[in-house]
Structure 1
Amino acid sequence: MTNETPLAADWKLLVSVGPCAVFHVACIIRHRLYIHGGLTNVQSKMPVNNLYWLDLQTGIWNESHAEGSPCLSHHSSVAWQDRYVLLIGGWDGRSRTSSLHCFDTETSKWKQLETSGYPKDAGLSSHSAIVCTGGRILVIGREGSLHTHRKHSSGHMLTGDISQGKWLYTVLSKDIDSRSGHSCSGSGNSIYLIGGRDDKFVETMDSICAPSEISKDVAQKLKLICEKLSRLSKMPSGRKNHVAIGGYGFIVVHGGETFDGKHRQPVGEMYVLCTKKVIEFFKIGTSSVARAGHVCCCYGDKILIHGGITGKENTVKGDTFELDFL
C-alpha cells in the first residue's frame, strides 16, 4: 500500500495465473468471465485473437480454439442476451474498424455481422460501448482514420439482430467531447463518460438509461464508504485506460494513466463517483495494484479486474483480482 491510512476497499488476488493481456475486452456470461484479444506486448502493434474464459465457480482458465476469432485490440465488448460475446470495432493490426463479431457461447462458433450506417472513412479504437434499455448499444469514442485529424467525436446507437446478422449504426450526437481510452457507465437515468482526455473529466449524457452493472449490495457498501469520507474539493486529474463500473448512484474508478505529469506509470488510485444529487468524488485511496489497459466486470456481488500493464516497464499481467471491502 502507498496510503498512510488503511483503504476502505482494495483488490484481493482471486486467480494468480491467467492470460497476459492489455487493451483486451471482457464480459461475463452466466458464470464465466470471457476475455478476448488485446496485446501481449505493449510495444507490439499486432493484436492477438485469443479467447479465454475463467470459470468463476472453479477458478480455472480455459482457452477456446474455435475458428474465426478476429485479431483485435483497443476494441469494446458487451454480453448480449446472456449468450453472445459481441465485439465492437477496434484495431486489427492495419487499421481501425467498426466491424462486429460475435461468439456464441452455446455453440462455440464465431460469426462476423453485417453493419451499415458508420462512416466509411472512419473506424473505432479505444472507444466504449454499453447496453442500454430497449435493446440498444451506445457506442462512444473518437473515430479513427480521416476523422482523427479533425478530432471528430460522436455517439452512435447500435441496433440489430444476431439471427439476421444485420446491424445499424445511427448517429446520436456529434457534440460529445472527443475521448479515447475513457470509460462509460450507467447510473440512474444518465450515462457517465469518464476520462479519456486531460480536461472535462466527466461528461453526462442524460435521458439514456443502462442497467446497473453492480448489485444493490455493492452499491450499499459504496454508500457507507462515502459517508465516512470527505468529498473531493475538485475533480481527479484527467486519465485514460482506467476502468469504471457502477449503478444505483455510484461508480467505482480504478487505475489508468494520468495526464498531470506526476506519474510516469500506471496508477493504483481508486475513487467513487456519487451521482445521487450532484456529481461528487470520494477518494478511497491508492492501491498497490496499479494498472492501465485492464478490464473490469461485475459477477453477482463481486467486482473483478484482469490483466493490464503495470510498473515503469509496462509489464503485461495475467492475474485476476476481486474488490474486497475491508
Structure 2
Amino acid sequence: MVTTLCGSWWLPKSPISTVTSALRPSVCSGGAAAAAVVAGQRRSEAGGLWWGPGTASGRGIEAVPGKPGPRCRGVPDSWRRSPPLPVPMAGAVGGAGGSGWTWRPVARDPLLARAFHSCTELRGRFYLVGGLLAGGAREPSNDTVVFDPAGGQAVRVGTQDGPRRSHHDAAPVGGRWLCVVGGWDGSRRLATVAALDTERGVWEAWRAAQGNCPPAGLSSHTCTRLSDRELRVAGREGGTRTQRRYGSIYTLRLDPGARTYCYKEEGCHTVSRSGHCAALLQSPGLHQGHQLLLFGGCNSAEPEVAGRWSHGRIKEEPLVAPRLTEQLARLVSSGQGSRQGPRGLRHHSCSVVGPFAVLFGGETLTRARDTICNDLYIYDTRKSPSLWFHFPCADHGLKRTGHRTCLWNDQLYLVGGFGEDGRTASSQVCILDFFI
C-alpha cells in the first residue's frame, strides 16, 4: 500500500498538551524561537483540527481549523478515516532570528525502505535501484522502484531481471536510459554497466567496447555525468586488501546506440576514498569553468579536485531551483552555521543546488561509537576561496547513512538510508524546508 502524506483528516478534540506534543518540531541547534512560534500557533488552534501534513507540491505541515480539504488521490478511504498520528517535522531551528532547516515528511512506502541504493531523477520520476533492505544483509536487492514525487506514489518496475547491486552509482543518459555503474553484487565488486530502457521497462547488459581498460572492481565510488556520452568515475577500486594508497580516476564513455561502454584511466590520481560524494560545480574566481570536487570518504575535511574543465567544455544546465538556491543563500548568511567542513565522513548524501553543494548525514570515521550523523553541511562556491557552513542537529530520528538526496521541482528530497541503529531502513520521503 502506498502511504501518501497529503489530504486532510479529522483530529478529535484533545487536551492541548497532547495535540501540541504531536505537532512540535524537534529543535536541533540554536534557540527555540521558530519552534515556539510554530507550537504557539498550533496550540491556539487545538480542540478540533483538520490535520494536513502537506504534499510534494509544497504545502507545509499545518493544522487548519474548519472544513476538510480536498480528498487525496491514491489513499484508501479506510486509511483516511482512521489515520495514525502524523509524523512531526524534525530538523534544526536557529536562534533569535528563527533561521534554520528541517526535513518535512511528504510520503512513506515500504518499497522505498533500503540503503546503499541509487536514486536518480529521470523525466520527473525517481528511479531507486537495488540496495540493502536491512542492516547486516549480505545480498543486495535486484528490484527497481519508481517514485513519483508529484503524486507521492511508489511502484515496482515489472521486470525481474534487474542488476543485483549495492554501493553502486547510476546516471541518466539521453533522457531514456538509466545506467548503473559498478557496485557489489553479493559476492564481488563489478565495473560493468547495466542500463534500464525506461521507455520499454527492460534492463540491458551493455558490453565493453574495444580498448576498454576497466577498474579492478568498483564499490562505494562516485559516477558523475559530464554529458550524455561521458561520465567521470572516482573512488574505491578493488577490495580493502588490494586498495592502493591513491585512487584512480576514470572517464567512462557510453554509446547508447551500440549499447557499449569503454573505460579510460586518467593520468591524475586522488587520495584513496570510499563512501565519498562528488559535486560538479562552477569554478570560483576569475577563471570560469567547472571542477569536479570529491567530499569525504577519507579522514580529511578538505575537498579534492578530480577534474577541471574550461568554460564551454561542460554544457551548462539551466538553474532548476531558484527558490531553493535563494533559501540556501539566506541560511548561510544567517550566522547560524559554523565554518567547519565534514571531517572523516562517508556514506553521506550530496546534491548540487546552483553554487552550493548540500551534504547531509553519513557515518563518521572519527568516533568509535554513535557514528551515524544527522548534520547539514553547505559548501558555498560563490566566492574564492569557497566556504563551508555546518548546521548541527541533535534529533537522533534524523540520523541517516547510505541514503540519497535528489533535486526535483525546486525541492531537495531525502530518500532511504539506515537510521540511528544502522540496521533499520527508512521508508520515508522528506523534503528540505527552511525557517528563514
Q: Aligned equivalents of 2:316 and 2:134: distance in 1?
A: 34
Query: Which structure carries more strand by proportion?
Result: 1
Alignment-mate amino acid for residue 148 of structure 1: T
Q: Which residue of 1 aligns with 2:304?
A: 203
Q: Which residue of 2 aligns with 1:115?
A: 208
Query: Which structure carries more helix by proportion?
Result: 2
Of the structure 1 ranges 278-287 and 240-249, higher mean CA displacement relative to structure 2 is found in 278-287
Residue 287 (structure 2) pairs with residue 186 (structure 1): no
In the alignment, structure 1 segments of 5+ residues that lack a partner are none
Change (3 A) 1:291 1:313: closer
**1:202, CA displacement in angstroms?**
1.2
In the alignment, structure 2 segments of 5+ residues that lack a partner are 1-25, 32-92, 95-99, 283-289
**1:173, CA displacement in angstroms?**
3.6
Normalising by structure 2, we get a TM-score of 0.70
- Corresponding residue to 1:269 among 372, 375, 392: 375
What does residue range 1-326 of structure 1 map to in structure 2 within 5 Å? 1=26, 2-5=28-31, 6-7=93-94, 8-19=100-111, 20-116=113-209, 117-119=212-214, 122-133=216-227, 135-145=229-239, 148-188=242-282, 189-208=290-309, 209=314, 215-229=321-335, 232-261=338-367, 264-276=370-382, 277-286=384-393, 288=395, 289-312=398-421, 314-326=423-435
Of the structure 1 ranges 188-197 and 170-179, higher mean CA displacement relative to structure 2 is found in 170-179
Figure out how many residues of one structure are paired with residues of the other and give that number: 325
Contact 1:201 1:238 in 2 (8 A): no
Q: Aligned equivalents of 1:47 and 1:96: distance in 2?
A: 12
**1:32, CA displacement in angstroms?**
1.1
**1:248, CA displacement in angstroms?**
2.7
Alignment-mate amino acid for residue 74 of structure 1: H
Which of 1 and 2 has greater Rg? 2
Q: Aligned equivalents of 2:241 and 2:192: distance in 1?
A: 17
Of the structure 1 ranges 39-48 and 202-211, higher mean CA displacement relative to structure 2 is found in 202-211
Alignment-mate amino acid for residue 109 of structure 2: V
Change (3 A) 1:145 1:240: closer
Q: Among the aligned pairs, what percent are the same residue?
A: 24
Root mean square deviation, CA, Å: 2.2
Q: Aligned equivalents of 1:185 and 1:60: distance in 2?
A: 29
Contact 1:12 1:323 in 2 (8 A): yes
Alignment-mate amino acid for residue 349 of structure 2: V
Which one scores higher on RCO, CA 8 angstroms, separation ≥ 6?
Answer: 1
Contact 2:118 2:404 in 1 (8 A): yes
